[in-house]
Structure 1
C-alpha cells in the first residue's frame, strides 16, 4: 500500500512540475517545435517516467536534471529572442524550395529534401500541380508553407498576385538572402527606408516588402 502511495505522490508531483515547465517554455504547437525543444521534452518525459517506475531512487535524482534542462532551455530561448543569428543556429531558418515557380534543387539537396517529400506536402495542402506554386518555404519545423500563383482576394477590381511578403529586416538585422530573392541589395533597401524617414535599420524590429509596398515596425512599436 505504501508503494502505491509513493507512486501516486510522484505521479502528481511530476505531473504538476511538467505542467509548470511547459508553461514556462511558452505556447507552441507540437508541429512547430524546434528539434531542440522536441529533444528536451522527450528527455523530461523519459526521466519522469523512470522516476515513477523506480520508487527506490531519490526523487532529487530526477528533479535536479529536469530543472537543469529547463534552465538551459529558457536561457537559450532568451538568447534566441535577442539574436537572430543565434536563433538561426539553434532553431534553423526557413528555406525557399520554390521561388517564383522555379524549384531550387540545390536547396533541396542541402536540406536532404526530395521530390517525394515535396509532392507529399503539396498534396496535403490540396495542391496537385507544382506549376501552380509561386513560393514554397520549408520551415524549421519541417512544415511546408505554400503560396500559390494568383491566390488572394479581389480588391478594387484587381487581383492580388499572391506574391510573398518577404521579411527584409528582423530584429534590426538586414536579411540579405531575402533581398537577393527580389533582385535587390542592401544599398537599395537603405535608400528606400530613408525615403520613409527611417535612417537606422537597427531601430526596426520588422520590415517586410510585398508588391512594391513596405511594412515597417519599429522597436518602440511604432509602425508605418
Structure 2
C-alpha cells in the first residue's frame, strides 16, 4: 500500500477518534472547561497528529493512549458530581474579588490578576466604577461575575411592579424562502393564513427570505432585496388606540348629555373600558 494512502487512512481514523472522544468528554464551551479538560484536549489533539504521521508505529497504541486520556476526565467528572470535595479539588472554587465596593487585594494576588485586568472585566459587565459593584467573583472557568449595587442595577418591570405578558420563542415560518410547515403547525396556523398575512403587507412569497411569527401572532418579514423596507406590524397599538378612543368618547358623552340615565350608562361603559384597557395594556403596549 502506498505511504500516502496509509497517511490518509490513519488521518481519517484519528479525526474520527478525536470527534468521538471529545463528544464523550462533554459539550462544554472552551470558556467553561476546566484547566484539566483543556490540557487533556491538547494532549488528545497531539496524539491524533502523531497517529496520522507515524506510519511505522502501530495505530492501536495511539488509540489506546487517547482512550485513557479521554476516559480519565470523564471519570473525574462523574466523581465530582458525587462529591463536593472532589469537585472543589478538580474544578476549584470561586474567589471573591470585590465585596461591598471594596477590592480584595489579597485575592487579586492569589488569582494573579492585575488592577487593569480587573477593571477590564468590570467594563465588560457594564460596571465602570468599582464603587458601583456590590460583589464580584472569579469563577472557576476564569470569568468574573459581577453584581451591581441595588441603586445601580437596571430597572425591570418586576422592580416597578409592572404586569407584563409572557414572551415565547418566535417561530420561523419561512426560512431561506421555504415555508416551514412544522412551525406553522406549532402556532396553530396554516399556509392559507400565511398567504393572507403576506397579502396584507403587499409581499410576494418568492420575495421573502425569512419570516418569523411571535407569540401574539404578529409576523415580521425580511426580504431578499435589502433595499426594500417592510413596515413593522402595528395591530396591537392600533387596537389599544381604538379602545382608548372609545373610552374617551364615552367620557365625553357622559359630560355632554343632560339625561341622567344616559350619563350613568356612558360612565359605566367608560369605566368598564378602562378596566379592559388596564388588563390588556401589558399585551398591547410592549
Q: How does 1:15-94 map to 2 (within 5 A)?
A: 15-94=15-94
CA distance in 2, matches of 1:95, 1:147: 14
CA distance in 2, matches of 1:110, 1:23: 34
The offset of 1:37, in angstroms, is: 0.3
Once structures 1 and 2 are overlaid, which stretch shifts more, 61-70 or 125-134? 125-134
The offset of 1:127, in angstroms, is: 2.5
Q: Does 1:157 align with 2:163?
A: no
The CA RMSD measured in Å over matched residues stands at 1.9
**3-state SS in 2 of match to 1:155:** coil
Q: Indicate conservation of the 8 Å contact 2:102/2:130, yes or no.
A: no
Write out per-residue CA displacement over residues 49-104 of structure 1, whole angstroms, 9 at most, x where no aligned residue.
12212222111221111111122111111111101111111111111111222211
Return the structure number with greater relative CO, CA threshold 8 A, min gap 6.
1
1:219 equivalent in structure 2: none
CA distance in 2, matches of 1:37, 1:127: 31
CA distance in 2, matches of 1:43, 1:56: 21
CA distance in 2, matches of 1:154, 1:88: 37
Bigger CA radius of gyration: 2
1:166 equivalent in structure 2: none
- Higher share of residues assigned helix: 2
Change (3 A) 1:158 1:118: farther
CA distance in 1, matches of 2:28, 2:84: 19
Q: Indicate conservation of the 8 Å contact 2:94/2:139, yes or no.
A: yes
Change (3 A) 1:59 1:154: same
1:114 equivalent in structure 2: 114
How many residue pairs end up in the alignment?
159
Stretches of structure 2 lacking an aligned partner (at least 5 in a row): 163-286
TM-score norm. by structure 1 comes to 0.66
The offset of 1:158, in angstroms, is: 6.1
**3-state SS in 2 of match to 1:55:** coil
CA distance in 2, matches of 1:123, 1:155: 25
Q: Indicate conservation of the 8 Å contact 2:22/2:70, yes or no.
A: no
CA distance in 1, matches of 2:2, 2:67: 27
Q: Runs ≥4 in structure 1, deviation > 4 angstroms?
A: none
